[in-house]
């Protein structure tokens, strides 16, 4: 695969490593549906599965290879004939097939898992790549547990597989053990020492056991890796893989630090996350960066007030840029009057200051009890408190009896004591002058003070 210097290849392994997370297995139809969404998302490579693992996985890889034609379709294989031939059988009809061969290289794995010597490891890796290369031009090699492998030995294995024809060298932090500075150093060393490295693409595959998968992947990119392996919602073995959406958006939001491009269509991120979650039945953690339901929700009054004035105050990217329909102002006990009056307006009601104060007091008491105040609660509260004038078509038709009582442009009444006291102090306890002409400003000021 030819890559330009600043283009980062996004290798999605949701269907392979991601599927290895408990509760995330998918059938063939589900895998195909997700693969089609990954195609719309614009990933460069889809690792569709591990064909030797089961007949189901084999059939899924085969189906994806024949239907999804734009991206490279990769299949995983251990470094042995049976696996490689099976992977090729599943992949051979793909428009752009890739065989991904892995073999552990750390002494712990060689000694306890594979029970082979270092010399045997080098020979097995070389033979496996020669075989894969005889079947397919595009061959990736992964030295499993690379970050716990003796550095000189790692370079020796990589020398051998490059010579045998590997086109991508993927460096896995299999157990999520490394840290960004160390991982960057490892990539630099590989670039310095491995013979023929300039002909191949270096890739990073990071697990999240210490919560550093994304930081490690980005560090690898800064050190010269040009492919990252990642998953939607960060699913994967144990604590998961580096999350695709976090890596991509880090590059988009901070091009000053990460001046790289990807082919990802940002507006398809949320759809990919939702599709995965719907298929697996595994919900996205609410505070998950980018795709969690709270990622663009603002509950604290100070935040709601700021976002209503200008989203840039508390949003570093627009919800739209990642396909989230709109940012949500969650009405709870931390909300301020600015957000409350905004929601009332969206429901079709506008209140003068005195009425809003009254509704706000009742709202805070209610929010203390029920956490999130939904629209129907608010409508009930409005009905119980006042008989307002409806100034717009409500989104939800409320049941309100009696005649209208709100006076939109009535002169502001005396603010209640607690607001008045608060409005005269700034957050550090210093007095704040209140502009008598600006009721709007005063409301905003009070939200700032009370809504934190
Ligand atoms: O984590 C890992 O080492 C892997 C390899 C198969 C790339 O998933
Ligand atoms: Zn992995």
Taken as a whole, the chain contains a residue count of 452
Is residue 149 within 6 Å of ligand 1 at its C-beta?
A: no
User: Does residue 47 have its Cβ closer than 6 Å to ligand 1?
Assistant: no
Test site for ligand 1: of 103, 128, 205, most ligand atoms within 8 A of the Cβ: 205
Strand partners, 140: 100, 168
Q: Look up residue 369 and give its two tokens.
A: 């009890």
Domains of the chain: 9-280 (3.20.20.70), 337-451 (no CATH)
Q: Which atom of ligand 1 is nearest to the CA of 146?
A: 3
Rounded CA-CA distance 222/226 in Å is: 9
**Closest residue CA from atom 1 of ligand 1:** 174
Specify the pTM: 0.78
- Residue 133 backbone phi and psi in degrees, to 5: -65, -30
C-beta 245 within 6 A of ligand 1 = no
End-to-end Cα, the chain, rounded Å: 51
Q: Which of 172, 178, 208, 227 to mutate to test the pocket of ligand 1 (most atoms within 8 A of CB)?
A: 172
Helix (H) or strand (E) holding 158: helix 151-164
Distance 229 CA to ligand 2 centre (A): 9
144 lines ligand 1 (CB under 6 A): yes
Would you state the pLDDT for residue 387? 61
Both tokens of 70, joined, read: 């734009």
Helix axes 118-135, 151-164, angle to 10 degrees: 30
Per-residue pLDDT of the chain (452 residues; tens, 9 = 90+): 544 569 999 999 999 999 999 889 999 999 999 999 999 999 999 999 999 999 999 999 999 999 999 999 999 999 999 999 999 999 999 999 999 999 999 999 999 999 999 999 999 999 999 999 999 999 999 999 999 999 999 999 999 999 999 999 999 999 999 999 999 999 999 999 999 999 999 999 999 999 999 999 999 999 999 999 999 999 999 999 999 999 999 999 999 999 999 999 999 999 999 999 999 999 999 999 999 989 998 888 888 889 888 889 989 999 999 998 766 678 888 889 998 988 887 677 788 899 899 999 999 999 988 888 887 788 888 878 766 554 443 433 333 323 232 222 233 333 333 223 333 333 333 333 333 344 444 444 444 443 32
Q: Closest Cα to residue 215, out of 180, 241, 244?
A: 180
Find the angle CA(364)-CA(367)-CA(370) to the nearest 5 degrees. 160
- 3-state SS, residue 336: coil
165 in contact with ligand 1, CB cutoff 6 A: no
Separation CA 116–CA 112 (nearest Å): 9
């Amino acid at each position: 695969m030819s890559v330009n210097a600043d283009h980062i290849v996004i290798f999605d392994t949701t269907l392979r490593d991601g599927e290895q997370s408990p509760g995330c297995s998918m059938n063939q139809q589900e895998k195909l549906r997700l693969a089609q969404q990954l195609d719309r998302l614009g990933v460069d490579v889809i690792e569709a599965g591990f064909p030797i693992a089961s007949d189901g996985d084999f059939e899924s890889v085969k189906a994806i290879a024949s239907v999804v034609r734009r991206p490279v379709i990769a299949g995983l294989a251990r470094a042995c004939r049976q696996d490689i031939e099976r992977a090729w059988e599943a992949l051979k009809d793909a428009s752009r097939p890739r065989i991904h061969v892995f073999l552990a290289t750390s002494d712990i794995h060689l000694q306890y898992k594979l029970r082979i010597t270092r010399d045997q490891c080098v020979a097995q890796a070389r033979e496996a790549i020669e075989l894969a290369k005889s079947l397919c031009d595009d061959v990736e090699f992964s030295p499993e547990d690379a970050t716990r492998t003796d550095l000189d030995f790692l370079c020796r294995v990589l020398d051998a597989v490059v010579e045998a024809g590997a086109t991508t060298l993927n460096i896995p932090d299999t157990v999520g053990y490394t840290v960004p500075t160390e991982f960057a150093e490892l990539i630099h060393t590989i670039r310095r020492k491995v013979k023929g490295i300039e002909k191949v693409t270096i890739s990073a595959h990071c697990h999240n056991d210490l919560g550093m998968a994304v930081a490690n992947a980005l560090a690898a990119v800064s050190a010269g890796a040009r492919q990252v392996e990642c998953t939607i919602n960060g699913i994967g073995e144990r604590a998961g893989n580096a999350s695709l959406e976090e890596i991509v958006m880090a590059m988009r939001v901070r091009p000053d630090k990460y001046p790289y491009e990807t082919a990802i269509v940002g507006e398809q991120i949320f759809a990919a996350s939702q599709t995965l979650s719907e298929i697996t039945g595994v919900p996205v953690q609410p505070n998950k960066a980018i795709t969690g339901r709270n990622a663009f929700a603002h509950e604290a009054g100070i935040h709601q007030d700021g976002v209503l004035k200008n989203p840039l105050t508390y949003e570093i990217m627009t919800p739209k840029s990642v396909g989230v329909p709109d940012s949500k102002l969650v009405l709870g006990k931390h909300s301020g009057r600015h957000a409350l009056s905004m929601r009332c307006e969206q429901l079709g009601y506008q209140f003068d200051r005195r009425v809003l104060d009254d509704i706000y007091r009742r709202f805070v008491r209610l929010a203390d009890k029920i956490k999130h105040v939904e629209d129907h609660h608010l409508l009930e509260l409005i009905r119980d408190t006042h008989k307002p004038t409806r100034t717009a078509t409500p989104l939800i038709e409320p049941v309100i009896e009696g005649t209208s009582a709100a006076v939109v442009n009535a002169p502001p009444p005396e603010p209640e004591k607690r607001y008045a006291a608060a409005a005269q102090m700034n957050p550090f306890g210093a007095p704040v002058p209140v502009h008598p002409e600006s009721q709007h400003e005063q409301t905003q000021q009070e939200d700032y003070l009370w809504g934190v």
